[in-house]
Amino acid sequence: MSDCIFCKIIAGELPSKKVYEDEQIVAFHDIQPASPIHVLIIPKKHIASLADAGEEDWNMIGQIQRAAAQIARELEVEESGYRVITNIGANAGQIVHHLHYHLMAGARLSPLGVHN
């Protein structure tokens, strides 16, 4: 997608600080981190959200979880703990409409919950 910031990062049109890349997935540091360590893990294929994933995408989506575990090991946060989360839709806080997972670590994270 020509206006998707993540597609531009994948295409090399925008810079990123990559921490992982394979044939289907790329991961890089978030430019506006919400925690001391905040990595975005995204498929190279443009998929707007989990709600838009096709049957052919589910193996790759599973590989994102494997990549998250590998990244956590490499960033040495596996023992202290980390969070992997995706937001789907406006009420969940999805801003960029390209499926992405947040790997957050480096400090005690607050519990998830509903904000009024």
- Catalytic residue numbers, as ranges: 100
**Residues contacting residue 90 through CB under 8 Å, at least 6 positions apart:** none
Q: Is 6 exposed, middle or buried (0-12, 13-18, 19+ CB in 10 A)?
A: buried
Q: Side chain identity at 62, as an amino acid letter?
A: G
Q: For residues 43 and 5, what is the distance between their CA atoms, to the nearest angstrom?
A: 13
Q: For residues 88 and 100, what is the distance between their CA atoms, to the nearest angstrom?
A: 9
